[in-house]
Amino acid sequence: MTRILVSAIAAASLAGLAGEAGAGESACFDDWSVASEIVARERLPAIGELQARGVAGGAIVRASLCRDGDRYLYRLIVKDHNGQLRRTEVEARAR
């Protein structure tokens, strides 16, 4: 019962958040219980795939999935090979 309730709440949250980001608007999903559903539905590469391909240019420390109109971006904080933290964005569909 709890699993069904959690799924229903997540689906309702997802529907509400997705509805808020229309053309020209943006929304970011820091909660990966919501973001992972979007990644699966939109067939976006997972964060682990980006890390394995070296797309980020270092170790991914933090990631958010963002929607900008009909585009999806990963906003990342990456620790580079010198130990410095930097922010970067990666187009999700282009990978």
20-49: per-residue pLDDT in tens? 444 556 899 989 999 999 999 999 999 888
Q: How far apart are CA 57 and CA 15, in angstroms?
A: 33
Question: What single DSSP character describes residue 84?
Answer: -
Q: How far apart are CA 85 and CA 72, in angstroms?
A: 23
Is the pLDDT at 2 greater than 60? The verdict is: no
Q: How far apart are CA 50 and CA 52, in angstroms?
A: 5
Mean pLDDT, residues 52-75: 90
- The total of other beta-carbon atoms located within 10 Å of residue 56's CB is 21
Position 5 scores a pLDDT of 34
Q: How far apart are CA 84 and CA 93, in angstroms?
A: 27
Q: How far apart are CA 27 and CA 19, in angstroms?
A: 10
Share of the chain above pLDDT 70, in %: 72
Mean pLDDT, residues 46-75: 89
Q: Which residue has the higher pLDDT, 45 or 51?
A: 45
Position 66 scores a pLDDT of 96
- The pTM assigned to this predicted structure is 0.68
Q: How far apart are CA 15 and CA 69, in angstroms?
A: 15
Position 55 scores a pLDDT of 79
β-partners of residue 29 are 65
Mean pLDDT, residues 57-63: 90
